[in-house]
Amino acid sequence: MREQLPALQVVIPLLGAVLCALLRRGAIAWVIALGVSWTLAVVSVLLLLQVLDTGPISYAMGDWAPPWGIEYRVDALSGFLLVLISVVGAVIMPYAHTSVCDEIEERNQGWFYTMYLLCLAGLLGIAITGDAFNAFVFLEISSLSTYAMIALGRDRRALLAAYQYLIMGTIGATMYVIGVGLLYSMTGSLNLVDIASRLGDVETSRPILAAIAFITVGVSLKLALFPLHVWLPNAYAFAPSVATAFLAATATKVAVYLLLRFLFSVFGVAIVVQGLPVTEIFLVLSLAAMFGASIVAIFQEDIKRMLAYSSVAQIGYITLGIALASQTGLTGGIVHLANHAMTKAALFLLLGAVVYRIGACKITDMAGLAKKMPVTMGAFVVAGLGIIGTPGTAGFISKWYLASGALEKGWWWLALLIVASSLLSVIYIGRVVEVIWFRPLAKAGEKASEMPLQMMIPALVLVAATIYFGFDTTWTADVAARAAQVLLPGAP
Amino acid sequence: MALIEQIVAHYNHWVTIFLMVAGLYIVVARGNMVKKLVGLALFQTSVYLLYITPGKILGGTAPILDEKFQTYSNPLPHVLILTAIVVGVATLALGLALVVRINEAYGTIEEDEIFPEGEDS
């Protein structure tokens, strides 16, 4: 049984999705989604423990030996991602029922959970597969279900957001597959480990360079790297609250994983860092994201949009880890995947509760809301501190690693810029905190009351996690450090 | 002369590149949502060609284990592209479904006519 765990990561959510699609009733579909999410969380934790204990797991799908067959490969990095995705899903699902009943029509609820499970299968699949083309198929499974989930939003602009994302996402995925095609025609293999070993034989010729370019740009579209982020704010702002929280925490993170995998495991430091200006490009774009998106976030009226721009800025921190390309820097980037995921999921869940109570999340409607929803708004402040990265929250840990990575290289100016961009997040979080706590109650909030318990517990669990992982880093930074070792073998 | 020969010899790549660039251009330049999807489909189709042409060996047969056949074409690209075609069809279907819903909600599928009204979208 234990050796079949890697396959279960993908098979269980796929079967669950089919069941949901057949049964269609919202409540039953929710129970299935809940059961599947929790099972997956257990499975992925078992996998990660096994990897940390005995080293990478290789699983031959259908018993076809790699590199001919599809290999599922779990190492410290992919195990970390698997746990991240499935645990976020498991925490969000108990919350989902109330919010989905409120925001999505009865006849579409079953479909929503179908799409959620398909998306989960796709995201877990990308993280676990060791096959470049298989990763493309999972990328499209997760993307197509994401477009449908976004289109289920109440506002009619959700349709436009989904359409825009469909166009951008498909261009990204197609560019990725072009890159894989070039790699395949040069190396004759699709297995990532096999490609990496064969690239040593092929000189760094023009098709390989083109493949690096296509894959980097394609995946950067999916992870919303700064100039390629235009789909993200609308998609997050108009999607149903549960979908926003889930996607913000997982979808872009998995794309980052794919990028890390290709840049460091497949192409390798020798080609990417020493031969090409990839790190310089990422450095500039990350800084542009950290400052540009934060400044745009300050001027948003809709808090969901504001947090979406904040996500673009936070992705800048993650890609900064790629730009540093050192053990400490990559640890910071990878640990920020998890830290940002839980913090941002918490914030979007809390906003979902606001939408549930007052029907909107415009900053003017939220004025003085702390008088009616003190727990929600108190948690919002704590999670906001996590985004800013104040000491004692998870966000501080990742920024600490990034700043030390910068100082190791002697880039003291970069450490200063990291602090400076955090100050920008103080402004956009602080602005909301000021309005919700210190302004007179707005008309929209007069009938509001505290959020129901089944919504409060998942949100508070995530908020508590941001505090907890600010102190105990055994399961975040230490695992991330091992993941960084996987990417940079030989580094101290 | 050698240059022209090289261009002619690799005509399949030129077709691929033309389809790729033309498709991407349509996606960027057109405001009509259905035309954008047509461009996207063209862009994806170019990838099918990119995969399949290197897999074909002139004079090669299907991979049948028999003493009479010595040269085989690689079957794997075809299988991959079969999957990619399915993905492409699904994307196009979902895109068109979204366009139908957008038409119901807005009464138009021209981006120029939709975007002026919603300033922040």
pLDDT at position B11 is 87
**pLDDT tens digits, residue range B32-51?**
999 999 999 999 999 999 99
Query: Which residues of chain A are under the pLDDT cut of 50?
Result: 492
- Which of B40, B96, B114, B121 to mutate against chain A (most A CBs within 10 Å)? B121
Distance CA(A49)–CA(A47), nearest Å, equals 5
Q: Is B44 on the interface with A (CB under 8 A)?
A: yes
CB contact (8 A) between residue B121 and residue A148: no
**Which amino acid is residue A463, in one-letter code?**
V
Q: Which of A469, A471, A237, A228 is nearest to A336 (CA)?
A: A469
pLDDT tens-place string over residues A13-53: 999 999 999 988 888 999 999 999 999 999 999 999 999 98
- Nearest CA distance, A295 vs chain B (angstrom): 16
Residue B121 covered by a domain: no
Predicted pLDDT at B119: 47
Return mean pLDDT, chain B: 87
Domain that holds residue B109: 2-114
pLDDT value, residue A441:
86
Q: Can you say whether residue A45 is alpha, beta or left, with left for phi > 0 and alpha for psi between -120 and 50 degrees?
A: alpha
Chain A residue numbers touching B17 (CB-CB < 8 A): none
End-to-end CA distance of chain A: 37
Q: Which residue of A166, A170, A185 is in closest CB contact with B98?
A: A166
What CATH number should be reported for the domain holding residue B63? Answer: 1.10.287.3510
pLDDT tens readout for residues B89-116: 999 999 999 999 999 999 988 888 887 6
- Is position B120 within any domain? no
* B33 at interface of A, judged by CB pairs closer than 8 A: yes
Q: Which residues, including other chains, have CB under 8 Å from residue A170's CB and lie 6 or more apart?
A: A143, B40, B44, B91, B95
CB contact (8 A) between residue A184 and residue B51: yes
**Residues in A touching B106 (Cβ below 8 Å):** 156
Beta strands in A38-176 (DSSP E): 57-60, 71-74
Q: Does B86 touch chain A (CB under 8 A)?
A: no
Number of domains in chain B: 1
Is some CB atom of chain A closer than 8 A to the CB atom of B92?
no
On whether residue B36 sits in a domain, the answer given is yes
Cα–Cα distances (Å) from A337 to A129, A331, A334, B48, in that order, read: 19, 10, 5, 34
Q: Which residue of B has its CA nearest to A132?
A: B80
Any domain includes B119? no
Chain A: closest CA distance from residue B7 (Å): 17
pTM of the predicted structure, to 2 decimals: 0.93
Beta-ladder partners of A362: A302
Contact A80, A334 (CB under 8 A): yes
**Dihedral (CA of A6, A10, A16, A19) sign:** negative
Q: What is the SS3 assignment for A492?
A: coil
Task: Work out the pLDDT band at B57, boundaries 50, 70, 90.
Answer: confident
CB contact under 8 Å between A160 and B24, yes or no, is no
Contact A297, A309 (CB under 8 A): yes
| A99-103 contacts, C-beta under 8 A, 24 or more apart | A99/A240, A99/A241, A99/A242, A99/A352, A99/A353, A99/A355, A99/A356, A99/A455, A100/A26, A100/A30, A100/A240, A100/A242, A101/A26, A102/A355, A102/A356, A103/A153, A103/A154, A103/A240, A103/A241, A103/A242, A103/A355, A103/A356
Out of B33, B54, B77, closest to residue A163 by CB:
B33
Choose the closest CB to A167 out of B36, B118, B120: B36
Report the alpha-carbon distance of residue A492 to residue A330 in Å, rounded. 13
Tokens found for residue A363: 């900053």
Contact (CB<8Å) B98/A140 = no
Please give the Cα distance from A5 to A40 (Å, whole number).
Answer: 10
Residue B31: inside a domain: yes
Task: Say if residues A222 and A173 touch (Cβ distance below 8 Å).
Answer: yes
Q: Which residue matches tokens 């120029």?
A: B112
pLDDT at A125: 95
Assign A71 to helix, strand or coil.
Answer: strand
- The residues, ordered by sequence, that sit 6+ positions from A402 with a Cβ below 8 Å of its Cβ are A317, A320, A321, A324, A329, A332, A333, A336, A418
> Mapping DSSP to helix (H, G, I), strand (E, B) and coil, where does residue A456 land?
helix
What is the rounded CA–CA span in Å between residue A318 and residue A399?
10
Q: CA angle, A369 as apex, A366 and A371 as ends, to 5°?
A: 165
Contact A224, A232 (CB under 8 A): yes
Contact list in A for residue B98 (CB cut-off 8 A) is 147, 151, 159, 162-163, 166
| Residue of A247, A180, A259 whose CA lies nearest to A219 | A259
Give B121's pLDDT tier (boundaries 50, 70, 90).
Answer: very low
CB contact under 8 A, A163 and B118: no
In A, which residues are within 8 Å of B47 by CB distance?
174, 177-178, 181
Count CB pairs under 8 A between chains A and B.
72
* Token code pair at residue A28: 């039953």
Pairwise CA distance, residues A250 & A142, whole Å: 11
Nearest residue of chain A to residue B119 (CA atoms): A157
